[in-house]
A and B are shown apart, each in its own frame.
Chain A
Amino acid sequence: MNGVALYLRYVGASVRAQMQYPRSFLVLNTAQFFGSAIEILGVAALFGVFGRIRGWSLGEVAVFYGVINAAFALADAPTRGFEVFGPEFVRTGAFDRVLLRPRTTALQVLGYELRLRFGRLLQAGIVFAVGASAVRLSFTPAQVLLLAWTLAGGVALFSGILVLQATLSFWTVDALEVANILTYGGVQAGQYPLNVYAAWFRDLLTYVIPIGCVAYFPVVALLGASDPLGAPGWLLPLTPAFGFLFLALALSVWRLGVAKYGSTGS
C-alpha cells in the first residue's frame, strides 16, 4: 500500500475515533465558528471608522481575509500531529513507536489525526463569498484555478510552519508558543493587504515567512487589481509556489530533527 492510500486509511481511523465523541465534535465546531466570526466583526468595525484601508474596499479585504483563513483552516485539519508533536510524541516517547514502524516519520505524524473542525472554514468561506459578490469577482475557470492554487500554496506554507514547530520540539519542549506566533500571527497579518504594513514587516512576510506570497500577491491578481507595491503582474499568480518551497525546506529540517532524536532519544 503506497503512502497516499495509507494516509487515507489513517484518516479513516482518525474520523472513526473522533466519532466516538460526537457531542464534543459539535461543541468544538460551533465554538470555533463563533470565535472566528467575532474577528470579522472587528474588521468590519474598523471599516466603519476608516471607510477604505490604503485603497482597498471592505469587499476586497473580505476576499483577502477569506482566502488566508480558508488556507489556514485547511492546513490546520490534517497537521494536528505536527502541532502537538512536542507534548504528544517527544515528551511521552511516542516517537519511538513511530520509528519502530516501516514508514516515513512525516507520513506517520501526518496520519496521527485529521481534525474535524469546519467552523473556521465555513466562516472563511462565508466571508469570501460576501466579499467576492461585493466586488463582483468573476469566476472564470482561470480564476477558479488561481484560487485553488493560492489555497494550495497557503496550505503548504502553514503546514511548513507546523512542521518547523514540530522539528523545534526535538530541541526544546516550548516550541508551541514560538510557532503560534508564526501560525496565528501569520493568519492575523495575512488578513490585511500587505501594503498596510511598514516596509520591514512586508519584507518579513514576503521573504522570510512568505505569507504574502500565498495571500496578498495572488489575491491581488485574483481581484484583477495592480499591486500598489509595484510587483509585476505576471509574477503575482506564481508566488504561491513559495509556500511549497517553504514546506520542502521545512521537511528537510525535519529530517535533521529526526537524526538528532536518534542520537539523544526522548
Chain B
Amino acid sequence: MAQVVVEGLRKTYRVAVREPGAWGAIRGLARRRWREIEALAGVSFAIGTGELVGFIGPNGAGKSTTIKILSGILRPSGGACEVDGLVPWRDRIRHVARIGVVFGQRTQLWWDLPVIDGFDLLRDIYRVDPARYRRTRDELVGLMRLGPLLDQPVRQLSLGQRMRCEIAAAMLHEPRLLFLDEPTIGLDAPAKLAVRELVGTLNRERGVTVVLTTHDMQDIEALARRVIVIGKGVILADEPLDAFRAGVLAERRVVADFAGEAPRIAIPGVEERAREGRSLELAFDPARIAAPALIAAIAADYPLEDIRVVQPQIEEVIARFYDLHGAGEA
C-alpha cells in the first residue's frame, strides 16, 4: 500500500528582483518587482510502505522543496500530497509526530547538552510513553553503538558520532517514515559505511520506509533499490536502480589485466574506456557481443591474466543521465 502519494505537486516562489546599485535598492523599497520561480512543475510519485527510495537530482532541481512539502514545512502552490492519509501542511502536528527527519547539515540535538539529555527531551516533545521510550532507546543505543557517547555534550562529538546520534534521535518516536537529507555529507569513509549500514538495518529489519536525498551516489548504490530523479522541477526518471542504470548506459564493462602492457583491442561493438599500465577497461554492447564470447576472443589473442565483468560507476550513470536531459545544475 502506498504510504506517500504525491500528485501534480507544484511550487512557485516569488522572489524580489533586485535592481543594481544604491538607487536601485531605494527604488526597490518603494516598488518591488517580483519574479516567479517555478521550483516544482507538477511532480507525481508514490512510495510504498517499507521501500527505500533514493531521491536525487542536481542542486536547485526541486529535491529540498519536495522534501519540505512532504515533511510539512512548506505549503505547495498546487497539487496534492498525502502521507499515511494526512495532508502534511494541513495536519502538521499530527503528521510530524509520525515521521523522522535527519538533515545532515543541521543538528536536532542540543549542542551544549549530553546526548542522553537531548534524547529525554525528545521523548517529552513527542509524548513517547516512558516504558516504550526506554525500550526503543536501548535498542537504538545498542544498534548504533552509542553507549560511550551518551554522556558527552553534542558539541564534543565527531561528525560521524553525531550523525549516528542524529539518526537515533529521529527514530526515538518510532516513525514509520524516515527522511534522510545528505546523511553522509562530510563523513570519513568508515563513518559513511557505518551510517549506510544503520539505514539499511532500519529499513530491512524494522520496515521503516526511507526517502534518501544525497549527492553521494555511493549512498544510493549501497542502499536504494529504486531511484527518483528530479530535474528542473519535474520527475525525469522513477524506476528500480538496475533498470535505471541499464536504461541510461546500455553498455556493460569488463576490466582485463594482461601480462605486459595492455594491448589495443579492435573487436566490433567493443570500445576502450580506460587504460592504466597492464590494465584495460572495455565497454561492450551485449546486443552485439555476449560477455563469454568477448572474454574468449580476448583470451585467444592476448596474454590475459585476469578479467572481471563490472558495472559502470553510478556517478558516471548519473552524469550521463543529466547530460542526456540537459539537467545540469540549475
> Which residues of A line the B interface, CB within 8 A?
1, 5-6, 9-10, 13, 16-18, 20, 93-94, 96-97, 99-104, 259, 262-265
Known: A102-B93, A265-B73. A93 touches B106 (CB 8 A): yes
Instruction: Give the contacting residue for B13; candidates A6, A17, A264; CB below 8 A.
Output: A264
The tally of residues in B whose CB lies under 8 Å from a CB in A reads: 31
Q: How far is the CB of B139 from chain A (nearest CB, A)?
A: 22
Does B238 belong to the interface (CB within 8 Å)? no
Known: A97-B108, A103-B93. A262 touches B125 (CB 8 A): no
Among B89, B94, B125, B153, find the residue whose CB has the most chain A CB atoms closer than 10 A: B125
Residue of A nearest to B94 (CB): A102
B75 pairs with A263, CB closer than 8 A = yes
B124 pairs with A6, CB closer than 8 A = yes
Contact with A along B92-128 (1 / 0, CB 8 A): 1110110101010010101111000100010011110
Contacts of A5 in B (CB 8 A): 124
**6 closest pairs, A vs B, by CB?**
A17-B112, A102-B97, A262-B75, A1-B124, A102-B93, A99-B73
Instruction: Give the contacting residue for B74; candidates A1, A6, A9, A263; CB below 8 A.
Output: A263
Contacts of B121 in A (CB 8 A): 9-10, 13
Known: A9-B121, A100-B101, A102-B126. A16 touches B73 (CB 8 A): no
Does B275 belong to the interface (CB within 8 Å)? no
Contacts of B28 in A (CB 8 A): none
A100 pairs with B124, CB closer than 8 A = no
B125 pairs with A16, CB closer than 8 A = no
Task: Report the separation of the CA atoms of residues A17 and B110 in the bound assembly, to the nearest whole angstrom.
Answer: 8
Among A9, A96, A102, A259, find the residue whose CB has the most chain B CB atoms closer than 10 A: A102
A sample of 11 inter-chain contacts (CB < 8 A) reads: A13-B117, A99-B73, A100-B73, A100-B99, A100-B101, A100-B108, A102-B125, A262-B74, A264-B14, A265-B13, A265-B68
Residue of A nearest to B14 (CB): A264
Residue of A nearest to B170 (CB): A100
Does B200 belong to the interface (CB within 8 Å)? no
Does B213 belong to the interface (CB within 8 Å)? no
B75 pairs with A13, CB closer than 8 A = no
List 17 additional contacts besides A16-B117, A100-B99; criterion CB under 8 Å: A1-B127, A6-B124, A13-B117, A17-B113, A93-B106, A96-B103, A97-B103, A100-B71, A100-B101, A100-B108, A101-B125, A101-B126, A102-B126, A103-B93, A262-B75, A263-B75, A265-B73
Does B328 belong to the interface (CB within 8 Å)? no
Residue of B nearest to A99 (CB): B73
Task: Report the separation of the CA atoms of residues A100 and B126 in the bound assembly, to the nearest whole angstrom.
Answer: 11
Task: Report the separation of the CA atoms of residues A99 and B74 in the bound assembly, to the nearest whole angstrom.
Answer: 9
A100 pairs with B96, CB closer than 8 A = yes
Known: A13-B110, A263-B74, A265-B73. A103 touches B117 (CB 8 A): no
A97 pairs with B106, CB closer than 8 A = yes
B74 pairs with A103, CB closer than 8 A = no
Does B72 belong to the interface (CB within 8 Å)? yes
Q: How far is the CB of A256 from chain B (nearest CB, A)?
A: 13
Instruction: Give the contacting residue for B113; candidates A6, A13, A265; CB below 8 A.
Output: A13
Contacts of A1 in B (CB 8 A): 124, 127
B126 pairs with A265, CB closer than 8 A = no
Contacts of A20 in B (CB 8 A): 112, 153
Task: Report the separation of the CA atoms of residues A44 and B261 in the bound assembly, to the nearest whole angstrom.
Answer: 95
Contacts of A259 in B (CB 8 A): 75
Contacts of B14 in A (CB 8 A): 264
Task: Report the separation of the CA atoms of residues A101 and B110 in the bound assembly, to the nearest whole angstrom.
Answer: 14
A16 pairs with B68, CB closer than 8 A = no
Within 8 A of A (CB), among B1-17: 13-14
Instruction: Give the contacting residue for B96; candidates A10, A94, A102, A264; CB below 8 A.
Output: A102
B89 pairs with A262, CB closer than 8 A = yes
B113 pairs with A103, CB closer than 8 A = no
Q: How far is the CB of B95 from chain A (nearest CB, A)?
A: 8
Residue of B nearest to A2 (CB): B127
Residue of B nearest to A6 (CB): B124
Residue of A nearest to B77 (CB): A263
A9 pairs with B110, CB closer than 8 A = no
A99 pairs with B92, CB closer than 8 A = yes
Q: How far is the CB of B100 from chain A (nearest CB, A)?
A: 9
Contacts of A262 in B (CB 8 A): 73-75, 89
Q: How far is the CB of B88 from chain A (nearest CB, A)?
A: 10
Task: Report the separation of the CA atoms of residues A182 and B110 in the bound assembly, to the nearest whole angstrom.
Answer: 31
Residue of B nearest to A17 (CB): B112
Residue of B nearest to A19 (CB): B112
Task: Report the separation of the CA atoms of residues A99 and B67 in the bound assembly, to the nearest whole angstrom.
Answer: 13
Contacts of B125 in A (CB 8 A): 6, 101-103
Residue of B nearest to A10 (CB): B121
Task: Report the separation of the CA atoms of residues A129 and B94 in the bound assembly, to the nearest whole angstrom.
Answer: 50
Contacts of B113 in A (CB 8 A): 13, 16-17
B72 pairs with A99, CB closer than 8 A = yes
Task: Report the separation of the CA atoms of residues A259 and B75 in the bound assembly, to the nearest whole angstrom.
Answer: 9
B124 pairs with A96, CB closer than 8 A = no
Instruction: Give the contacting residue for A101; candidates B74, B96, B103; CB below 8 A.
Output: B96
Task: Report the separation of the CA atoms of residues A99 and B108 in the bound assembly, to the nearest whole angstrom.
Answer: 12
Q: How far is the CB of B69 from chain A (nearest CB, A)?
A: 10
A100 pairs with B110, CB closer than 8 A = no
